[in-house]
Structure 1
Amino acid sequence: MIIVNTPGSWGSVYRPLSHASWHGFTLTDLVFPTFLFVVGNAMSFSMRKFEQTSQAAFLKKVIKRTFVIFAIGFLLSWFPFFRDGQLKPLEDARIFGVLQRIALCYFFASLVIHYFKIKGALVFSMVALLGYHLIMYTMGDYTLEGNAALKLDLWLLGPNHLYQGEGIPFDPEGLLSTLPATVNVIFGYFAGLFLQQSGKNFKTIALLMIGGATLVFLALGWDLLFPINKKIWTSSYVLLTVGIDVMVLAFLVYGIEILQKKKWTYFFEVLGKNPLFIYILSGLFVKLLFIFSIEGSSSYGWIAENLFMSWLGDYFGSFVFAVCFTMILWGIAYVMDKRKIYIKV
């Protein structure tokens, strides 16, 4: 996510590191839904402890975590809070965003899984995906300007509170598309639970591969009616990303658990032990680099142009800048891990 979010220049980005402009799919379009899938996977471990607690304790924990993650996402979007010596007006602040979507998907998935159990969560997922398709089909079209998700956000929030980077006010993390995105979390929970119950063996890997391939096949079929599209988070997009994630999980189980090839994993574990903190830190660093200037340009742009792109070329220099930025954050995460500092919500 950090590499995608921090190229040296947005005009010089390799195609796989860019989102699909509208309908379609790139490698980058897999990143965010995979984050949600991982949230659900982690919930397959954490939700068990709530079975022995009171309803009040469960709701308190879930609501608190949702609020904190949502608030952090909102504040990160609003930062820096001052412009020209005055507090930035809230009436122009974007309400939704990446962390806000993670918070809401976690909230709804937690309630569905806790109260409806496995069968109920499966029914909810099917109804959510089919219902979302029905809403998008009957209440609008599948274009940027005419989709139902945009219409709802404009009605609830108004244009000033939406993302402004699509040419018109439109939020790819808006309220309505949070419904199918919640299914990514629920399927991540299913995958984690299945893995725990079935064990790490060849049969489990085979079933995961078959399940993932089936979801991808269904997604490609659904794409003919409801095109794969990240920005409106179509139901076919959910099935495609979940299917790929399940197959990737099968490969990881095979390599790490069965072949015992574990040495390469530590690089990723470092980031995985403080993912929320590192992601927030990346956003703050970028905004600070844009605030401070060097020779009349933002620090971000000056560093990218003069230290990377001027001698590595536009595209490769832009990519290397993103990698180096990520590695600085990895270094911070590495020091935190060595000192046993783990920041959780």
Structure 2
Amino acid sequence: MKKGSIATSAPSTRVLSLDVLRGVTIAFMVLVNDPGDWAHTYSQLDHAKWNGWTLTDLVFPSFLFIVGASIILSLASRVARGESRRELAGHIVRRSATIFALAMTLNLIPYFRFTHLRLYGVLPRIALCYLCAGLICLATQRARNLLAIAGVLLVGYWALMRFVPVSGFGLPVRDMPLLDQDRNLAAWIDRGVIGFLQRTIHTGVLYEKTRDPEGLLSTIPAIATTLLGAVAALWLRCTGATREGDAYIPTKAQCAMGLLLAGMLGVGMGLLWNLWFPINKNLWTSSYVLLAAGLSLIGLAGCYWLIDMKRFQETWVGRWLVWPWLVFGSNAIVAFTTSVVLVKALLYFKTSNMGANGKPLSVWSWTYAHWFARGNSTNLSSLAFALCFVLLCFIPNWLLWRKKIFVKI
């Protein structure tokens, strides 16, 4: 090993702060995805209409950020067990394919209409980002290289969206507003891809009819989000590394401070870039990536200080406050899958009661109307329903936790 380098062996203890942050993120994702009434939601529990951001807009990038961090920790663990690079690459490809297959299965339920299959979405984006970021991290785990790749992706995406003419509409800024909702390069590519798929294999739809928030081109900066999470994990691993030569090994306090400072820098850079390239979750703009990654770093710094440094979870109060998020985070994909299946089941099955449109009410609508809204839907009743739904999705994870079953895709 070269002088000044750091050993690549994984630390002996888990980074519990990542598990907690993953649990908080997936629970919040279920919460904002499943209100009782979409017409009545608090503004911070819904996505920004276009430019700008809310707390809800930070959920998905936070999860991808954690995916990137998990890639580094997983690779270190598998290397320590003696797996070859070929085996690691095969694992990454198989896991990505499994996540994508799960996404398609969930999209098909319950009607199995292949001509209306949405190929984009949350899980497909996770699959693509995991695949690309995983293979990149397998090739290099030097922080400077990962940051350089992320920087190229972000600047390249900005250049594409800003300077490439959109067929039939013209040049952004000159002929139409930058990031026009339908007249932008990402939406144009998505319409072209889905049109081609409809003509060839007769399937594919866009979530917003003319565009998709998890489209193909905007996956490029989403990969950068995942790589930034990987860089954060490399920094976390430094505290558990063995000193070699004159290598710098930060203390846990310095590690937390480094995460905090990097997070503040990311937020500042994102807000600054917002002046020229607006923060936009639907298009996953480069400024949005920096803002979301910065806030994820700040959140991780707080969790790391509280969990891995102060050992808050070992106190009587902390044990009960931290435990639910560890349960959620231990089987995050199970929690998300449970939420999707439950929503589709509750909407599919009908009651004998008729709605205002003269059609039978779904179990979902009947439950919300009779148990929560009681004829007067409000933001509070909608939130109460969403919180109860999160608790319902918690139960399968809790049962798996009790039996020490952790589903690995």
Query: TM-score under structure 1 normalisation?
Result: 0.93
Partner residue in 2 for 1:73: 103
What is the Cα deviation at residue 45 of structure 1?
Answer: 0.9
Gaps of 5+ in 1: 83-87
Distance 1:328 1:69 in 2: 23
Distance 1:55 1:192 in 2: 20
The answer to whether 1:38 aligns with 2:38 is: no
Distance 1:77 1:293 in 2: 20
Pick from 137, 149, 161 the counterpart of residue 162 of structure 2.
137
Q: How does 1:170-189 map to 2 (within 5 A)?
A: 170-189=211-230
Moved more, 124-133 or 304-313: 304-313
Contact in 2 for aligned 1:74/1:97 (Cα 8 Å): no
- Residue by residue over 1:193-221, the C-alpha shift from the partner in whole angstroms, topping out at 9 and shown as x without a partner, is 10120356222222211111011111011
Contact in 1 for aligned 2:72/2:137 (Cα 8 Å): no
The answer to whether 1:162 aligns with 2:205 is: yes
Contact in 2 for aligned 1:162/1:169 (Cα 8 Å): no
- Residue by residue over 1:269-321, the C-alpha shift from the partner in whole angstroms, topping out at 9 and shown as x without a partner, is 11111110111111011001111111111111111111101177421111100
The answer to whether 1:93 aligns with 2:136 is: no
- Residue by residue over 1:48-71, the C-alpha shift from the partner in whole angstroms, topping out at 9 and shown as x without a partner, is 245553343122111100000011
Q: How does 1:1-345 map to 2 (within 5 A)?
A: 1-49=29-77, 51=79, 52-82=82-112, 88=113, 90-118=114-142, 119-139=144-164, 140=166, 141-158=178-195, 161-164=204-207, 166=208, 168-198=209-239, 201-262=252-313, 263=319, 264-294=321-351, 295=353, 296-310=360-374, 313-345=377-409
Aligned-partner residue type, residue 238 of structure 2: Q
- Aligned-residue Cα RMSD (Å) equals 1.7
Q: Which structure has the larger Rg over C-alpha atoms?
A: 2
What is the Cα deviation at residue 142 of structure 1?
Answer: 0.4
- Residue by residue over 1:231-266, the C-alpha shift from the partner in whole angstroms, topping out at 9 and shown as x without a partner, is 000000000000001011111111112222112211
Distance 1:305 1:293 in 2: 14
Aligned-partner residue type, residue 330 of structure 2: K
Contact in 2 for aligned 1:270/1:333 (Cα 8 Å): yes
What is the Cα deviation at residue 5 of structure 1?
Answer: 0.9
Contact in 2 for aligned 1:309/1:316 (Cα 8 Å): no
Moved more, 319-328 or 72-81: 72-81
Query: TM-score under structure 2 normalisation?
Result: 0.79
Distance change (3 Å), C-alpha of 1:50 and 1:138: farther
What is the Cα deviation at residue 190 of structure 1?
Answer: 0.9
Contact in 2 for aligned 1:162/1:170 (Cα 8 Å): no
Aligned-partner residue type, residue 268 of structure 1: W
Gaps of 5+ in 2: 1-28, 167-177, 240-249, 314-318, 354-359
Distance 2:257 2:133 in 1: 27
- Structure ranking higher in helix proportion: 1
